[in-house]
Structure 1
Amino acid sequence: MSDRWPNGGQLACLITVALEAELGVLAADPSAVTRQKSLSVGRYGTNRGAERLLAVLADRGLRSSWFLPSRNAETHASLTAEVVAAGHEIAVSGLALEDFGTLGLADQHRCVVEARERIEQRHGVRAVGFRPGRGDAHPALADLLRADGFTWSSQLRGDDLPITLPCGLVELPHHHELDDAAYFAFNLDPAIPAGSPRIAPVGDVFANWSIEFSAHRAEGLLFVLDLHPELIGTPSRAAMLGDLLDLIVDAGDSWVATGDEIARWWLARDPAGPLPADHPIAVFDRYLTETR
């Protein structure tokens, strides 16, 4: 029995949902602003996909962490309220899916804090998790967010376990192979993503994710799913996700928790301290600091 996760759990599972809607389409290609067919791809997530996703989670009694740009929490207020009422965690992805790679530290910090304030004013929940909607966060942003009461972020890919940053913010790494966009993101005109159209067979994705889960479970790791309602929320894909979640629940030793719950558990076991100089995050932080 493992002592890494609560109650002898063999692995931790975090289900993250990015509620991007039309903003996701525009962030991928701003020229789509006048193209109703393209924008409707994003709207599918709020019109149909999110409801299916919420139902799949509710049927299994599972909670998840939803990343929202504050504009969507306002534009799609009733849906956001439904997510909150269902007990899911609300986390922040900026004001309107800004590209953080184009912003300085002060503007990045302003975007996150202002987005959290807007969501809290509208929905009465105070976000403690963060992921940039696009681009890379400044290395020093973690220190500022921890001082503001944030407990976790999920933006890097350099590990399979949580990482306690020196400031005490816990990074929950995620990977492309567990992101539905890597398999299902597609728009014909304008091409999104440019040059790499794909609509993967649903059965193949289930096979990939099942193998990933088994491998993560064997090593007692952190299994992070990245989902987008406009992608995973079609009838067949939602059903496939349900089958995957059944596999996770039926294993009997999976701790499915929110980002905040996982971060708080990990921080209690792994208090803040300096990272080794050769740690991937330390190396990446030096690179960003030198190139900004």
Structure 2
Amino acid sequence: MPRHIACLTFDFDTWSSFAVRGMTTPTPISRGEFGLVGAKRILALMAKYGIRTTWFVPGIVIDTYPEACAEIVAAGHEIAHHGYTHELPAAMDAEREEREMLRAIECIRRLTGRAPRGYRSAAWDLSDATLDLLLKHGFDYESSMMGHDHQPYFVRQGDVVSADEPMRFGKQTRLVELPISWSLDDHPHFEFLRTKSFLMPGLQAADGVLKNFTDDFVYMTREETDWGALTYTFHPYVVGRGHRMLLLERLILALQEMGASFMAMEDLADEWLGRQDARAAAQ
């Protein structure tokens, strides 16, 4: 029987993604704080359909809104690592990145009673040191890369890449990659963002985005005749707006009609590893 999985994930950044861009005036901060409103709506919707999800939460958000984060835990959802601030790992040196990583681990441990199993970097931009740090500090999975769309894979460490030479591949690690895609992220589709250096137009109609989201799942069911998993990324301050909440519910209903199994990321990683073990034992 074919098995097709949908992971609904939420990057609960609130105002942290604006602050690291220097946008700390009242309006962008309030825009991020709308994520608290969106989070309540999302939790109610997930409870309605009995779906367990994964929330990637910066440590600074846990420290600022402990009650809101505790509600996510109380509802049975997974809390995963999303840095302490929302600064890009590639913009930090290795020492600072590790300090921030450890600080956020302690925030999550304090909130949930255990260390996080999964990691997602800010803006999906890993540094040269990130994978070493994830392995050093015991993470089981990572979700910032795009080497497949329907299949997890083991992360390579130590690739050597230059513009004018063939790539030299590094070694395979035990870290599981649960891949993502900008096309399955609500932020670039919907968010209008203007700074001195760039413009993100956003503000697309929800129906067109919903068709993208559902068509990718349709394609997976055709391409992966045995087993496949697709990860969707949402931000509560983005998807929490009314017409986008309707999109999210329609997505759930459409995926249910196609036989989707909904799963948190840590459970997906466990299932995929179990399949690898079973395959190895059968050889």
TM-score with structure 1 length normalisation? Answer: 0.82
Structure-1 separation of matches of 2:35 and 2:263 = 23
- Taking every aligned residue pair, what percent have the same amino acid on both sides? 28
User: Deviations 1:20-47 (Å, cap 9, x if unpaired)?
Assistant: 11112223x31x21x211221111111x
User: Deviations 1:106-127 (Å, cap 9, x if unpaired)?
Assistant: 3323322221112212442421
Partners of 2:124 and 2:145 within 8 A in 1: no
**Is 1:12 matched with 2:5?**
yes
Structure-1 separation of matches of 2:246 and 2:28 = 25
Q: 2:33 aligns with which of 37, 43, 49?
A: 43
Classify the secondary structure of the residue corresponding to 2:246. helix
Task: Quote the residue 2:215 is aligned against.
Answer: 211
Paired residues in the alignment total: 257
Runs of 4+ off more than 6 Å? none
Classify the secondary structure of the residue corresponding to 2:7. strand
Partners of 2:54 and 2:78 within 8 A in 1: yes
User: Displacement, 1:194?
Assistant: 2.5
Classify the secondary structure of the residue corresponding to 1:239. helix
Structure-1 separation of matches of 2:38 and 2:46 = 12
Q: 2:253 aligns with which of 246, 269, 275?
A: 246
Structure-2 separation of matches of 1:193 and 1:16 = 29
Structure-2 separation of matches of 1:241 and 1:135 = 22
**Would the alpha carbon gap of residues 109 and 264 (structure 1) be closer, same or farther in structure 2, given more than 3 Å must change?**
farther
Task: Quote the residue 2:17 is aligned against.
Answer: 24
Task: Quote the residue 1:168 is aligned against.
Answer: 174
Spell out the pairing of 1:68-107 with structure 2 (5 A cutoff). Answer: 68-107=57-96
**Is 1:184 matched with 2:190?**
yes
Task: Quote the residue 1:130 is aligned against.
Answer: 119
User: Displacement, 1:60?
Assistant: 0.6
User: Displacement, 1:270?
Assistant: 2.9
Structure 1: unaligned runs, 5 residues or longer: 3-8, 272-292
Partners of 1:202 and 1:237 within 8 A in 2: yes
What is the identity, as a one-letter code, of the residue corresponding to 1:15? L
Q: 2:230 aligns with which of 223, 236, 248?
A: 223
Structure-1 separation of matches of 2:198 and 2:79 = 30
Higher strand proportion: 2
Partners of 2:70 and 2:111 within 8 A in 1: no
Structure 2: unaligned runs, 5 residues or longer: 156-171, 278-283
Structure-2 separation of matches of 1:39 and 1:192 = 18
What is the identity, as a one-letter code, of the residue corresponding to 1:84? V
Q: 1:259 aligns with which of 243, 253, 265?
A: 265
User: Deviations 1:209-234 (Å, cap 9, x if unpaired)?
Assistant: 12112112222332110000000001
Structure-2 separation of matches of 1:237 and 1:126 = 32
Q: 1:198 aligns with which of 202, 216, 219?
A: 202
User: Deviations 1:241-284 (Å, cap 9, x if unpaired)?
Assistant: 101111112322x221111111122223336xxxxxxxxxxxxx
User: Displacement, 1:105?
Assistant: 2.9
User: Displacement, 1:193?
Assistant: 8.9
TM-score with structure 2 length normalisation? Answer: 0.84
What is the identity, as a one-letter code, of the residue corresponding to 1:224? T
User: Displacement, 1:238?
Assistant: 0.5
Moved more, 137-146 or 158-167: 137-146
